[in-house]
């Protein structure tokens, strides 16, 4: 009897232990987190990394089964190199914010998967359709969505209202045409007693993203630099050459600094009153608002044949060699990050354009733009916006264009010769994609 009781108790103990082990194993499995390494570029000023870290922490509180690991990979150019190197070695990030113009390159490298495969529910499909059409020009091709807009921008013009007053110009009336820009820039240019320029009328940077800033001129002169499929360019179009000649002539006339102008120092030159008007990304809006020691304005890019600016900035991409579980987790993170409330707050915190109309309908962005109307300029420019320049073999084709632009700006080639040489090189590079 005692032996039977002992055996029953032993059996019960073993069963309980086994059940506990199974439950414990199940709990451990439930607690196991899916890791999502996330490459993020840091290309403009401001406490961007702290903001992204905060978003990642908030997301993980709501999704304890997912571990998002932001990795700050340098500039956009450095980040795409690191991402593709990791892809080729078999250990890519699960997701990354890369330039929207990297789309063709990432497709050609078979590095990414389309988002359409993950947007299963009707709500998710509507979410993919909710972004501004201008931003989708660099996000979709071949009937598929390869990138989700996040850190997006346009080029806008900033002007120093104090400098306008000192020059006898209406501080509330910025230039709206090429002719007005050149005329006002002449009045805004200041020289010291020795004849040295102390304040240029206008400054358009030509390092970092020369092609992008040049698109503010080629677009407004009525020409698009590349076709929709990314396998042909129009660098030698007479309107393109005319646009580059205008840029060169601003320097020759003394109202714009000559040579190559640094992208990164242009906002600082504005703060220090070395330039009265600058062109830069709307992603610098919060930086300029926080640091300009004078009242400033923000306006659309001055037009010639038309209004317009390229869109710019980064998209989220999903990398192909990550596991299905990681891709699904990353999709959840991207979907969460781009909801209207967060897109609105991101716009407020950074100056980037909120990527959907729904974001501008949120209470916080309505209040912010009511208090600070310049935050609406980039959004209002979107109906006139064009795709940022992007082709297959984008890095090398863009380099051909950038080299040509800088050759013209430094005076080593005429605008016509520079663009004809760039066209020849781009045609050679793109021949295999036609």
Each residue's pLDDT tens digit in the chain (434 positions)? 433 433 344 444 434 443 444 444 444 444 579 999 999 998 554 578 899 999 999 999 999 999 999 999 888 889 999 999 999 998 999 999 999 999 999 999 999 999 999 999 999 999 999 999 999 999 999 999 999 999 999 999 999 999 999 999 999 999 999 999 999 999 999 999 999 999 999 999 999 899 999 999 999 999 999 998 999 999 999 999 999 999 999 999 999 999 999 999 999 999 999 999 999 999 899 899 999 999 999 999 999 999 999 999 999 999 999 999 999 999 999 999 999 999 999 999 888 999 999 999 999 999 999 999 999 999 999 999 999 999 999 999 999 999 999 999 999 999 999 999 999 999 999 999 99
With a CB cutoff of 8 Å and minimum separation 6, the contacts of 122 are none
Class of domain 34-153+312-386: alpha beta
How many Cα atoms occupy the beta-carbon half-sphere of 356 within 13 Å?
22
- Cα(169)–Cα(410) distance, rounded to whole angstroms? 31
With a CB cutoff of 8 Å and minimum separation 6, the contacts of 329 are 34, 36, 63, 65, 66, 94
> Can you give the pLDDT at residue 48?
86
- Cα(278)–Cα(158) distance, rounded to whole angstroms? 5
Return the closest-CA partner of residue 430 out of 226, 140, 219. 226
Q: How many residues does the chain have?
A: 434
Q: How far apart are the first and last CA of the chain?
A: 89
CATH 3.40.190.10 residue spans of the chain: 34-153+312-386, 154-311+390-430
pTM summary value: 0.85
Kindly give the interhelix angle for 394-409 and 210-220, rounded to the nearest 10 degrees.
80
> Can you give the pLDDT at residue 31?
56
Q: Specify the fold of 154-311+390-430.
A: D-Maltodextrin-Binding Protein; domain 2 (3.40.190)
């Amino acid at each position: 009897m005692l032996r039977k009781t002992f055996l029953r108790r032993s059996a019960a103990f073993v069963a309980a232990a086994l059940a506990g082990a199974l439950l414990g194993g199940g709990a451990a499995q439930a607690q196991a987190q899916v890791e999502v390494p996330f490459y993020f570029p840091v290309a403009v000023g401001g406490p961007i990394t702290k903001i992204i870290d905060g978003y990642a922490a908030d997301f993980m509180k709501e999704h304890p089964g997912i571990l998002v690991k932001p990795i700050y990979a340098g500039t956009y150019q450095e980040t795409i190199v690191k991402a593709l190197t990791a892809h080729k070695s078999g250990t890519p990030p699960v997701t990354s914010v890369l330039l929207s113009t990297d789309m063709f390159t990432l497709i050609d490298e078979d590095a990414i998967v389309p988002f359409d495969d993950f947007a299963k529910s009707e709500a998710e499909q509507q979410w993919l359709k909710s972004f501004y059409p201008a931003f989708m020009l660099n996000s979709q091709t071949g009937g598929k969505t390869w990138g989700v807009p996040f850190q997006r921008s346009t080029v806008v013009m900033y002007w120093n209202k104090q400098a306008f007053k000192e020059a006898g110009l209406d501080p509330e009336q910025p230039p709206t045409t090429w002719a007005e820009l050149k005329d006002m820039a002449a009045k805004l240019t200041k020289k010291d007693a020795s004849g040295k320029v102390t304040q240029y009328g206008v400054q358009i940077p030509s390092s970092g993203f020369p092609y992008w800033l040049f698109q503010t001129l080629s677009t407004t002169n009525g020409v698009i630099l590349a076709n929709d499929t990314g396998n042909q360019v129009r660098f030698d179009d007479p309107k393109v050459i005319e646009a580059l000649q205008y840029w060169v002539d601003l320097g020759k006339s003394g109202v714009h600094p000559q040579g190559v102008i640094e992208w990164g120092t242009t906002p600082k030159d504005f703060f220090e009153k070395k330039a009265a008007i600058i062109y830069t990304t709307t992603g610098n809006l919060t930086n300029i608002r926080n640091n300009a020691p004078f009242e400033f304005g923000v306006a659309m890019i001055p037009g010639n044949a038309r209004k317009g600016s390229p869109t710019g900035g980064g998209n989220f991409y999903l990398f192909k060699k990550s596991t299905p579980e990681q891709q699904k987790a990353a999709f959840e993170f991207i979907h969460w990050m781009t909801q209207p409330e967060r897109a609105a707050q991101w716009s407020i915190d950074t100056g980037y354009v909120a990527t959907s109309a729904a974001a501008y309908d949120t209470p916080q962005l309505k209040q912010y733009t009511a208090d600070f109307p310049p935050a609406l300029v980039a959004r209002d420019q979107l109906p006139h916006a064009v795709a940022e320049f992007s082709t297959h073999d984008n890095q090398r084709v863009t380099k051909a264009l950038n080299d040509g632009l800088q050759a013209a700006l430094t005076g080593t080639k005429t605008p016509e010769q520079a663009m004809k040489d760039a066209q020849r090189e781009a045609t050679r590079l793109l021949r295999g994609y036609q």
